[in-house]
Structure formats: structure tokens, C-alpha cells
Amino acid sequence: LVESWSFLDTVESNFRPLVVIELAKGTKEETIEWFTKRIMDKKANGGAQLLIKPLVTENGVENIYLVGASHLRLLLGAETVGLVKECSDNSMRTFTYSSRKTFKDFADDNHNFLTMAECQYIIKHELENLRAKDEKMIPGYPQAKLYPGKSIVRRLLTSGILVQIFPLHDREELKKLRHSWYGRVKVGYQPLDDIRCYFGETIALYFGFLEYFTFALIPMAVIGIPYYVFAWEDYDKYVMFATFNLLWSTVILEVWKRICAILTYRWGTLLMKRQFEEPRPGFHGVLGINPVTGREEPVYSSIKRQLRIYLVSLPFVCLCLYFSLYVMMIYFDLEQWALDYHEENESNFSSLMLYVPSIIYAVVIEVMNRIYRYAAEFLTSWENHRLESSYQNHLILKVLVFNFLNCFASLFYIAFVLFDMKLLRQSLATLLITSQILNQFAESLLPYWLQKRYNRRMKKRMCSQKTDMDLSLADQVNMEKEMGTYLGTFDDYLELFLQFGYVSLFSCVYPLAAVFAVLNNITEIYSDALKMCRVYKRPFAEPTANIGVWQLAFETMSVISVVTNCILIGMSPQVDALFPDSKMDLVLTVALVEHLLLAIKFIMAFVIPDKPRDIQMKLARLEFESLEALKQQVRAFQMQLHFLLIHH
């Protein structure tokens, strides 16, 4: 129990900085004093019972604070957030302090039982759950109102006193991770478990999905190559390719659910109980009674929100969609102009010019997507959703609809209005390749270059020839606090989603799309890894059990692609030639095949279990055990009662 004493003290030697808090320059003394006192205060007094220390640099104190916690405090925190860890008997169980001895690798002096990412997640959770007691406002800032139960950190953030909270990198660990992840050229899987230990489950799951998706695309790519090499144009080969493609896309999405279950079971998040959702930081309203918690807190009328959604957001989205279609029509004018130019002066230059409109259009699409993304974020934030999940759903819906139309409208138009397969193939290839190049550039290389330049300048300013590893803690914090913030996996999934659209929607026209997707994803893994390790601040780990709404988005895309591919095959001249007498029969056959494929898809999705059998068994076992424990409790209580009655 000796170790446990550190729980109560703040001895310097035990202090391991985990999280950095940056307060605004010129924050009042009384505010800082009150805030640090609340963070250090005992749980019993409503504090967070964490350790906090100002960062002392050469320039003196800079309103930057380091937060840590004793080992015992972290273990108790792990129980509060409901972490699930592996037991000695290899089963996964919710961690409790009282049953700590039954967990694998647990020892009172083993400070690596919780990973650093888990410790940082616990500290973030504790900080966010530091709530106002009877304070009416933040001391020193009368305009920053508080009410009992309001999260102090969230109020500090919204009133600008708190600039940012971020977890520190572990340079030692990061170096190891970088090496095993992308440091050497090797063929093999990513070190997903290490990524999860360092960055948390959400990010590890994204890289898991990216890797899985790349592997899943390989069969398509392999089958697609001969179509290009031998210039196959036989309809039966196209039909076979498309059919394989459609069934394959269903299979891979179903199998992903199983792999995801395996991963998250191993990581413990599959079993983690959902935490009760607090209002998101940006939410505002007038004080009222929350009907769910019965507490006094800001409420915002649902009708007002509906009005904002239907009278402002919806028309705005429609306007954007219209604008996107308008730009598309300009693109077609440009395309026509390039064609005319090529016909007039036939030369190498003019045939290169044929590709220019597509490339310009691809760039414009990317730019529009990015501008729209900001607008959508602004609008969704203005809609004032109370919960982060509801905010995310509305944002994702807005962004997905626009991105889908923006990226694919021109292809649909070429395919089903112009019936120009040659242009479709060319346009698809240009859009896909241009957008991939732009994305790689904008997402990773550009920030990496900026970061590198900044680091160089920083080092020069610090007038030191030290290598990265020798940097003092103060230097490290100062460097990391200037790094960009990783905004979550949204953009990364969106990119994959659009790529999946390019590959599957018109797969029978351009089988080579899968090849480009595979090539892109291999570099994407490296550039995303670089981005995570080098460019951005370390993000807080976020436990998650699946890829959420993206599963649904990918499944919807694969349903749409059944329809488009069937129509494309039906339109091909080869299939056309098979029904020389009656176009009716052709259309009816295509419709029949389409319905059959859709039916097979749904049956397959229904038949393939979402979790592998052994995970199902393990979950059933846990459920059985908890029911048994409950029964034991009831029985023990009944026996007590019984005893009481007899000896009354």
C-alpha cells in the first residue's frame, strides 16, 4: 500500500506530465489560483484530485500548465470511465479497483498497466467532469456565468480563458512507433495494437479500416488490370467483373463488421458501456430544467432548432447543390470547347488540352468541397445541437449529400444523359487521379512542409544544435503547442467514401479505378501516419466500438452502385446486340438482374453474422456471468431476509 500514498501527495519526483493546459495570456491571477485549486482539490470536495504544475521556461511562467496524476488516481479514474482490460484468464472485463489483482500485467508498481493514451483520456475525462458547485461565475470574469453542474473546463474554453488542452507526445514511444509503422520499407500489416496504445481506438480503427479496405480492393484491382492490358471490350467479361464487384463490395463491408468486432473486443471498447452524453461545448440556451436529468441547465427549444434546420440550412444546402450543378454545366461547355479546339487544330498539344477541363473541374470540385465543409460546420454549429452525436449526424448528412452530388453528378450526367462511355472513362480517371493527388498534397505534404519549416525556425530561435531527443520538456511543450490540431477522422473517412464511389459506381466502365485506389491507399497509409506522428498535436484517445455512421454510408453507396452498374451494362452496345429484336426484353432482363442482385445483397447482409462466433460466445459468457452475479446478489439478499424472519 506504500505506493498508494502518492495519491495524496504531490511529490515532484512522482510527477509525470501527461496533459498540457494553455491559458490565455494575461489571465487574471485569481482565476488561475481558483482553477488550479479546483483541479487539485479532493474528490470529496468536488475537485478532480489531479496534479498540476506550471511550466517554467527561460522566459518565466507562461500560463502553461502540466497536468498529471498519481498511479492510484489513474486506476480509480479508469474505473470511473469504465475501461475494459484483459484479465489473467484472457477474458475482457470492466476494470474496477477492487478487482485489480485479477487483471493481466497488473502490479502495484507496474505503471505501464494503463497505456499513456488511456491515462490522458482519463485526465481529459476528469477535467471535463470538473463541475461548478456554488460558483455563479468564473472568478475574475463576471461575464463567464456558471451554474451548479456546469463543466468548468467547457465554460473556460467558450469564454476564451482556456486556449487549449492537449496531451503530450511521448518522444521515446513515438520514435518506436514511427519506426515500426512507416520507418522501414516493409511488406506487412500496420502495428495496429501499438497505434491504438499511442493514439487510441478511433484512430487505430481508421487505420485498420484503411488497411482492410486496401487489401479488399486488391482482388478488384488484380481482376481489373487485364481489362486494361488486353483492352477487353466483351460484354460478358464486363458483366462478370461488375457482378463480382457488387457481391464483393457487400462481402467486404460485412466482413469488416466482423474484423471490427475482433479488434474492438481485443481493445476492450466493444464491451465498454456508453457514457451519458453531456451537452457539447458550443451549445447555448436559457437556463431551464432538463427533463432527462432534472437539473437546471441551459435548454434550447427544439422548435427553434427545427426552424433553423428547415428554413435556413435546408434551403442553403439546396442552393449549394444547385450551384454545384451550375458549375458542372460550365465544365461541360469547357469540355465541348476543348473538343472543338482539338478537332480544329489536331496536335499533341490539343489532345493534351482534352484533359484540361476535367483537371480544372476536379480542382474546382475539391475547392468547393472544402469551402462547403466550412459552411456546413458553421451552419450545423448555428443550429445549436445539444449533443455532439446529433451535431455530428447533421454535419455528416449535410456534407455527404453535397460531396456525393458534387463529385458524381457530372459522371451520372455523362453516363445516363450523354451516354458517352469514352468521356465517362476519361472523366472518371481524371477526377479520381486529380482528387487523389490534391488530397495527398493538401492533407499531409503541405502541413508537413509547413511544420518542418516552423520547426527549423523554432530551433534556430532557440539557438541550439540539440537533436529532437535532447529537447527539454519546456521546448517540447512549446513546440507541440504550435502544431496543428487533428480534427478527427471525418475527412479521412470522407476521402475513402468518395474513393469507394469512384471505384464501385461505374466499375464496369473503368476497371482500372481499383488499381489507382490501391496505389493511393498504400501511400495514404504512409502519409496519414506521417501526419499523425509529425504534423499534428497528439490527439486525445477516444474509445469507440465501430466506425459508426460510415458503415451505413458505405453500404448505401454499394446499393447505389448495383443500380448504376446494372444500367451501364444494359446500355453497353454488346449487351444491346444480344437483344436485336426487342429493347423491351433488354430492359426487363436488366431490371430483373438488378432486383436479383439487390435481393442477394440484402440476404447476404442478413445471413453473415456481424460478430464472429468466438466473440459471440465470449460476449454471451460475460452476459451469463453478470446475470449469475446478479442472481447471487438477489439470493444473498433473500437469505438475509429469511434469516431475519427466522430470528425475529
- In contact, 52 and 40? CB cutoff 8 Å: yes
Q: Is 591 in the site for a copy of itself (CB under 8 A)?
A: yes
Task: Sort 390 into a burial class: Cβ within 10 Å, 0-12 / 13-18 / 19+.
Answer: middle
Q: Which of 79, 173, 211, 377 is close enough to bind a copy of itself by CB under 8 A?
A: 79
Nearer to a copy of itself by C-beta: 352 or 627?
A: 627
Closest CA to 369 of 326, 405, 394, 328: 405
* Minimum distance from residue 202 beta carbon to a copy of itself (Å): 22
* Minimum distance from residue 634 beta carbon to a copy of itself (Å): 6
* Minimum distance from residue 74 beta carbon to a copy of itself (Å): 13
Q: Which of 37, 136, 370, 631 is close enough to bind a copy of itself by CB under 8 A?
A: 631
Q: Is 4 in the site for a copy of itself (CB under 8 A)?
A: yes
Q: Is 579 in the site for a copy of itself (CB under 8 A)?
A: no
Show contacts of 229-235: CB within 8 Å, 24+ apart: 233/574, 234/574, 235/569, 235/572, 235/574, 235/575, 235/578
Nearer to a copy of itself by C-beta: 133 or 453?
A: 133
Distance of CA 53 to the CA centre of its chain: 32
Q: Which of 275, 389, 464, 485 is close enough to bind a copy of itself by CB under 8 A?
A: 275
Interface with a copy of itself by CB under 8 A: which range of 184-192, 195-203, 262-270, 632-640?
A: 632-640
Interface with a copy of itself by CB under 8 A: which range of 54-62, 357-365, 499-507, 583-591?
A: 583-591
Q: Is 304 in the site for a copy of itself (CB under 8 A)?
A: no
- In contact, 503 and 252? CB cutoff 8 Å: no
Q: Is 603 in the site for a copy of itself (CB under 8 A)?
A: no
Q: Which of 26, 60, 142, 291 is close enough to bind a copy of itself by CB under 8 A?
A: 291
Residues in the chain: 648
Closest CA to 517 of 252, 196, 260, 237: 252
DSSP conformation letters of 249-280:
HHHHHHHHHHHHHHHHHHHTTTTPPPPPPPBP
Q: Which DSSP helix (H) or strand (E) runs through 320? A: helix 314-344
DSSP category for residue 283: -
Q: Enter the C-alpha cell of residue 145.
A: 456565468
- In contact, 197 and 267? CB cutoff 8 Å: no
Distance of CA 109 to the CA centre of its chain: 35
Helices (H), 489-546: 490-505, 513-530
Nearer to a copy of itself by C-beta: 291 or 573?
A: 291
Nearer to a copy of itself by C-beta: 190 or 290?
A: 290
For the chain, the first-to-last Cα distance in angstroms comes to: 42
C-alpha 412/C-alpha 403 separation (Å) is: 14
Q: Which of residues 358-377 bind a copy of itself (CB under 8 A)?
A: none
Q: Which of 25, 44, 172, 461 is close enough to bind a copy of itself by CB under 8 A?
A: 44
Task: Sort 350 into a burial class: Cβ within 10 Å, 0-12 / 13-18 / 19+.
Answer: middle
C-alpha 51/C-alpha 598 separation (Å) is: 58
Q: Which of 292, 303, 417, 469 is close enough to bind a copy of itself by CB under 8 A?
A: 292
Q: Is 620 in the site for a copy of itself (CB under 8 A)?
A: yes
* Minimum distance from residue 278 beta carbon to a copy of itself (Å): 11
Q: Is 648 in the site for a copy of itself (CB under 8 A)?
A: yes
Q: Which of 583, 609, 629, 632 is close enough to bind a copy of itself by CB under 8 A?
A: 583
Q: Which of 37, 133, 466, 595 is close enough to bind a copy of itself by CB under 8 A?
A: 595
Q: Which of residues 114-143 bind a copy of itself (CB under 8 A)?
A: none
- In contact, 50 and 128? CB cutoff 8 Å: no
* Minimum distance from residue 552 beta carbon to a copy of itself (Å): 9
Q: Which of 61, 578, 587, 596 is close enough to bind a copy of itself by CB under 8 A?
A: 587
Which residues of the shown chain bind a copy of itself in the complex (CB under 8 A)? 1, 4-5, 7-8, 42-44, 76, 79-80, 97-98, 275-276, 291-294, 563, 583-584, 587-588, 591, 595, 617, 620-621, 623-624, 627, 631, 634-635, 637-639, 641-642, 645-646, 648
